[in-house]
C-alpha cells in the first residue's frame, strides 16, 4: 500500500571543508557512503519514491543512491547552480506532484534513527492539512544552528539564523536541524514564494515555517532526545565522530544478537556483516562489509576479514590472519600469521602458522581449493591456482606449485614441494 510520502535528499554540495576531491556524501562511514545511510532512512518510513538532488559528482552520487534504494524508485535531479536549500527543493518540484507529504533529508546526516523520522511523519499527519513538522534538538554546542523562537504559549514562532541572533536569542538551546515533513500540496504552493533577498542571495527552506505561521497553518516540532542524531558531517573530524556513533550502534546490535565482543573499543565491524550467535570476537579485529560469520566461531585478536569472507560454524581465525574472498569450513582453523586469499577451505582443516595462499601473479588473481581434513604445515606457500585434496598434508616450509598435482592423502614436502613416498609396510617388504 502506498504511503503517500516522497522523500527529497539534498546531496548537491561540494563539501569543500572535507578538503577532498571526492563528493562529501560519498565519503565512507562503516563500509558504505554517507548518502546510502540517508537513503536507508528514507526507506524506513516506507517512502513511495526518493528524489536525490545532486550537484558535485552528480553521476557518482546518483549511482550510490540508486544502489542503496534497491527496488524503491529513485529519481536523480541536478541542482546547478546551487542556490540554497529552498532552491534545491524547487528544482525537485516536478517530482513532488501527487505526494501527500514530502520529507526533506540531507545526504550528510547519517545518524538519524528510523523511529525519529517516524515520529516526524506522525506529527505532521496529526497536525492536519497544510501543516509542517520540523525536527529540533538541544545539542551541547548549538553553534552554527538557527535558533527556535517560541511564543508565550510555547508554540513555534519562527527561526532566527545564528548570524542574525540577538545575544538573548543566541543563548537559546533549541535549534533547527533543517529536517522537515511538509504537506505536499501546500509545499508546492509555497516554494515559488521563497525569496533570495538576503545577504547570500539564496533560497532557504527555513522561510517556509514562517510563511505557514503567518497564514495560521500549524507548525509542530519534534525534538531529538539524542543530540548525536543531529550531527551533520562537514569535516573529516566530524566524519570520525559520526563513525564512532555508528560503530557503537552496530556493535550493540551484534551483542544483543548473542555475539560476544570482548573489547568493543578496539573492534571495528562494518555495516551489513552477518555474525551468528555464540561467536567470540577478540580485541583488535576489523570485519568489512560483505563478510558472513557463522555460529560459535572465534575471530581475533588482530584479525582482518575482508569482503567475500565466509566462516562456517565453529571456524576459527586468529592472530594476524587476513582473509579475503575466502571460505573457511566448519571447524577449520587458521590461527596464526596467515593470508587466505581467494581460497575455499573445507571442514576440519588446519592451516599452520605463516601460511600464504599466493593468489596474485602480478596480472590476475587465482583461486585455490583445500579439502576436508587437510593439514597445512607452518610456513607453507600455496601458489594459486591450486588444489589440496581431502586428507593431504604439507610439511613445514613447503612451496606447493601449480604443477604439484596432489592426490587425496598425499604428503608434500620441500621447495618446490614433492610427494613424500609412502613407506612400505612389513608385509609388503
In this predicted model, what pLDDT tens digit does every residue of 1-41 receive, in sequence order? 678 999 999 999 888 889 999 999 999 999 999 999 999 99
Average pLDDT of the residues in 139-153: 88
Whether the per-residue pLDDT at 428 is higher than 60: the answer is: no
Other beta carbons less than 10 A from residue 1's beta carbon: 5
Cell 564512532, residue?
244
Instruction: Pick the closest to residue 92 from 182, 197, 200 (CA basis).
Output: 182
Q: What is the predicted pLDDT for the residue at 102?
A: 98
pLDDT digits (tens, 9 = 90+) for 306-321: 999 999 999 999 999 9
Predicted confidence (pLDDT) at residue 425 exceeds the cutoff of 50: no
What is the average per-residue pLDDT within 214-232? 92
* Distance (Å, whole) CA 222 – CA 218: 13
Residue 2 confidence (pLDDT):
77
Buried/exposed code over 217-243 (b: 16+ C-beta within 10 A; e: otherwise): bbbbbbebeebbbbbbbbeeeebeebb
pLDDT band, very low/low/confident/very high, at 426 (cuts 50, 70, 90): very low
Q: What is the pLDDT of residues 328-384, one digit of tens each?
A: 999 999 999 999 999 999 999 999 999 999 999 999 999 999 999 999 999 999 999
260: cell is 560476544
Instruction: Name all contacts of 144-153 with Cβ < 8 Å and 24+ positions apart.
Output: 145/175, 145/176, 145/177, 146/175, 146/176, 146/206, 147/172, 147/174, 147/175, 147/176, 148/172, 148/174, 148/175, 148/176, 148/221
Counting every residue written for the chain, the total comes to 429
Quote the cell numbers at residue 185. Answer: 500540496
pLDDT in tens, 107-124: 999 999 999 999 999 999
Q: Is the pLDDT of residue 429 over 70?
A: no
Domain ranges of the chain: 5-230, 236-419
Q: Binning pLDDT at 50, 70 and 90, where does residue 423 land?
A: low
Report the topology of domain 5-230. Spore Coat Polysaccharide Biosynthesis Protein SpsA; Chain A (3.90.550)
Quote the pLDDT of residue 1.
62
Q: Tell me whether residue 336 is one of the annotated catalytic residues.
A: yes
Question: What pLDDT score was predicted for residue 164?
Answer: 82
Q: Picking from 176-190, 218-232, 361-375, which range would have the lowest pLDDT averaged per residue?
A: 218-232
The per-residue pLDDT for range 387-422, each reduced to its tens digit, is 999 999 999 999 999 999 999 999 999 999 999 987
Q: Which fold has domain 236-419?
A: UDP N-Acetylglucosamine Acyltransferase; domain 1 (2.160.10)
Residue 387 β-bridge partners: 369
The span from the CA of 180 to the CA of 210, in Å, is 13
What's the mean per-residue pLDDT of the chain?
Answer: 94
Give CA torsion, residues 18, 21, 26, 31, to 10 deg. -80
The one catalytic residue in 87, 228, 336, 344 is 336
Amino acid at each position: 500500500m502506498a504511503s503517500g510520502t516522497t522523500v527529497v535528499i539534498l546531496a548537491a554540495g561540494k563539501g569543500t571543508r572535507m578538503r577532498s576531491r571526492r563528493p562529501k556524501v560519498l565519503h565512507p562511514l562503516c563500509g558504505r557512503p554517507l548518502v546510502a545511510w540517508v537513503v536507508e532512512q528514507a526507506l524506513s518510513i516506507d517512502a513511495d519514491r526518493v528524489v536525490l538532488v545532486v550537484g558535485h559528482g552528480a553521476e557518482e552520487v546518483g549511482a550510490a543512491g540508486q544502489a542503496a534504494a534497491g527496488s524503491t524508485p529513485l529519481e536523480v535531479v541536478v541542482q546547478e547552480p546551487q542556490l540554497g536549500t529552498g532552491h534545491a527543493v524547487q528544482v525537485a518540484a516536478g517530482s513532488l506532484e501527487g505526494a501527500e507529504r514530502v520529507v526533506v533529508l540531507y545526504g550528510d546526516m547519517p545518524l538519524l534513527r528510523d523511529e525519529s523520522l517516524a515520529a516526524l511523519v506522525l506529527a505532521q499527519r496529526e497536525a492536519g492539512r497544510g501543516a509542517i513538522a520540523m525536527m529540533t534538538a538541544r545539542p551541547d554546542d548549538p553553534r552554527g544552528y538557527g535558533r527556535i523562537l517560541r511564543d508565550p504559549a510555547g508554540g513555534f514562532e519562527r527561526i532566527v539564523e545564528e548570524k542574525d541572533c540577538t545575544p538573548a536569542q543566541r543563548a537559546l538551546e533549541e535549534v533547527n536541524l533543517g529536517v522537515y515533513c511538509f504537506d505536499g500540496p501546500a509545499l508546492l504552493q509555497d516554494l515559488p514564494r521563497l525569496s533570495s533577498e538576503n545577504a547570500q542571495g539564496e533560497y532557504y527552506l527555513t522561510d517556509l515555517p514562517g510563511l505557514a505561521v503567518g497564514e495560521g497553518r500549524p507548525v509542530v516540532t519534534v525534538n531529538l532526545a539524542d543530540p548525536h542524531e543531529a550531527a551533520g558531517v562537514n569535516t573529516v573530524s566530524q566524519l570520525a565522530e559520526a563513525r564512532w556513533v555508528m560503530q557503537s550502534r552496530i556493535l550493540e546490535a551484534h551483542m544483543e544478537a548473542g555475539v560476544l565482543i570482548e573489547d568493543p573499543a578496539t573492534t571495528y565491524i562494518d555495516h551489513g556483516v552477518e555474525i551468528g550467535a555464540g561467536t567470540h570476537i577478540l580485541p583488535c579485529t576489523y570485519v568489512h562489509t560483505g563478510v558472513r560469520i557463522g555460529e560459535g566461531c572465534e575471530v581475533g585478536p588482530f584479525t582482518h576479514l575482508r569482503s567475500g569472507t565466509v566462516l562456517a560454524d565453529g571456524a576459527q581465525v586468529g592472530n594476524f590472519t587476513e582473509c579475503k574472498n575466502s571460505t573457511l569450513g566448519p571447524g577449520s582453523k587458521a590461527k596464526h600469521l596467515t593470508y587466505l586469499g581467494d581460497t575455499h577451505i573445507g571442514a576440519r582443516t588446519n592451516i599452520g602458522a605463516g601460511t600464504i595462499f599466493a593468489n596474485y601473479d602480478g596480472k590476475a588473481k587465482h583461486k585455490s581449493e583445500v579439502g576436508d581434513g587437510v593439514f597445512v604445515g607452518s610456513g607453507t606457500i600455496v601458489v594459486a591456482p591450486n588444489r589440496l585434496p581431502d586428507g593431504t598434508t604439507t610439511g613445514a616450509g613447503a612451496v606447493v606449485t601449480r604443477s604439484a598435482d596432489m592426490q587425496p592423502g598425499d604428503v608434500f614436502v620441500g621447495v618446490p614441494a614433492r610427494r613424500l613416498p609412502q613407506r612400505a609396510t612389513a608385509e609388503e617388504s
